[in-house]
Amino acid sequence: MAMWLLAACGREPPPPPAAPPPPKPDVILIEPVLPERPPRPELPPLFRDIEKRTFQFFWDVTNEQNGLTPDRYPSRPFASIASIGFALTAYPIGIENGWISRTQAVDRTLTTLRFLRDIPQGPQRTGRGGYHGFYYHFLDMQQGHRYDSWVELSSVDTALLMMGVLFAQSYYEGDDPREREIRRLADQLYRKVEWTWLQQRKPLISMGWFPESGFIEHDWMGYNEAMLLYVLALGSPTHPVDPDAWTVWTRTYDHDWGVYYGQEYLSFGPLFGHQYSHVWIDFRDIQDQYMRARGIDYFLNSRRAALAQREYAIANPMKWKDYGENVWGLTAGDGPQNTRQIYRGEEREFRHYSSRGAGLRENFDDGTIVPTAAISSIVFAPEVVIPATEEMHRRYGDYLYSSYGFLDSFNPSFEFDIPLKTGRLVPGKGWVASDYIGIDQGPILAMIANYRNEFVWSVMKKNPYIRRGLERAGFRGGWLAPEDEEAVPVDDAAPGSAAARALGVAESRAAAAEAQKQHDQPASNRAQPPE
């Protein structure tokens, strides 16, 4: 399941031994030009069109008979349980916008939850869709069984599914028998997940399990999208992990804190790691012990990550085509092919599906831009995301924007006449993907909804399991504060912030030195078919 990324290439050669080494660009502290708190510019009409088309992806391509949503479309070889979680979140957004009726959404949601309940579970290699309440990453679109022998029982993808399940539980509050059934089924599915079973090296949680080889040796550590996994595991009423799971999880952060392209933050190169948990949980002004010590919150942290990626694109150290202030965004997504080609006089590595990112450690950049990286950051940095979205639509929309919004990715630098893994070459424009991917579509739709009126966040705040998970993780303040206790907004000028910043600069230098010693790092939560 875990894929591995090479450290970023293209570093400057070292100076002569007699000269002191110059400071590295990714550890120089530069005061941010943009304010820490995002403004709230009005959304242009394009975003309403993006929302409608992206919603239609989930409504149209999901199997009406069982509620399974494909991993990708129009090639739709298997369902993705994470895509199902995003689909369950999309249906209420459709209701609120008048794109479907409540009756339609209830029907589809019930079909999905009933099917998930009835998928056979067990240790067998075939004919099962899950085990111990977890589900296989990819399922057969018709039967809901494990798709193939390379597919793992996935902890984080089950968590993404459960976020959608619990969102449905909190949204459908009616007394209608069918809405009561939704709430009951959602509760049943969540309670069945045995989070403690995957704690093979307590207190951390394993990435998953294979019936052929057993538990995956890698645990969820460092800073990444698994925040939502630990919140769900802590909030479980039946199989909860102990609070020390969060304590130890955050202890693995330290080598990821530092300064990169003018922003000091907890780094994870691909932007999906800064987005997925925030789709459902409003992290504004709530802090765990780690963020209290740093003087910010996870929301501001994700803002800084987006701004740093944009600054990286402006600097464009690898000289890729079209990178700039309004063309940026590295995350997991499709690419043209696994190949090495000569670009600007040097051999460069290109990939097909892969995590791409720019940060202190998880760096890989082959010139492939994934629109969801920027668009799904709209809640964090709207003042730079809105113009980027408009410019990508204006410049590339003729071949990148279609029935269900933005196709997954594009690479203006890739113009090599070789066989492609996926997508196509557009003469004079480079490579463009041919598929939409569910886990890239979902954050676009949900984050725009959160930007408009905090819709997904507001619904999820009502879920007692999410609140319990956050509180057991040590989160306080903001919307979690007791009613008789005034919440104090998180501010970069808060006491301790200057000391935290100084500590961050020092740690960033150590992290950068360590990064040079390592040639691969865990990246994406997505298994891919073998070559």
Single-letter code of the amino acid located at 79: A
Single out the residue of 352, 346, 377, 350 nearest to residue 365, CA to CA: 350
C-alpha 391/C-alpha 520 separation (Å) is 33
**What is the C-alpha separation between 357 and 307, in angstroms, rounded?**
13
Mean pLDDT, consecutive 10-residue stretches, the chain (531 aa), reads 36 38 41 58 97 98 98 95 98 98 98 98 98 98 97 98 98 97 98 98 97 97 96 98 97 92 96 98 97 96 97 98 98 98 98 96 93 98 98 98 98 97 96 98 98 98 98 96 55 45 43 42 52 57
pLDDT at res. 530? 62
Other residues' Cβ atoms within 10 Å of the Cβ of residue 234: 23
Phi, psi of 321 (to 5 degrees): -65, 140
The confidence score (pLDDT) of residue 362 equals 76
**CA pseudo-torsion sign 147, 151, 152, 158:** negative
Q: Which two tokens stand for residue 19?
A: 């000269």
- Tell me the DSSP string of 161-184: HHHHHHHHHHH---SSHHHHHHHH
What pLDDT, on the 0 to 100 scale, is given for residue 481?
A: 82
CA distance 453 to 43: 12
CA-to-CA distance for 271 and 275, rounded, in angstroms? 6
Reference 143, options 127, 130, 159, 157; nearest CA is: 127
Closest CA to 323 of 260, 401, 413: 413
pLDDT of residue 187: 98
Residue 368 and residue 409 in contact, taking contact as beta carbons nearer than 8 Å: yes
pTM greater than 0.85: yes
| DSSP 3-state of 354 | strand
Residue 367, token pair as written in the block: 């010139």
Is the bond preceding 92 in cis, omega lying within 30 degrees of 0? no
Answer yes or no: are the C-beta atoms of 457 and 282 closer than 8 Å. Answer: yes
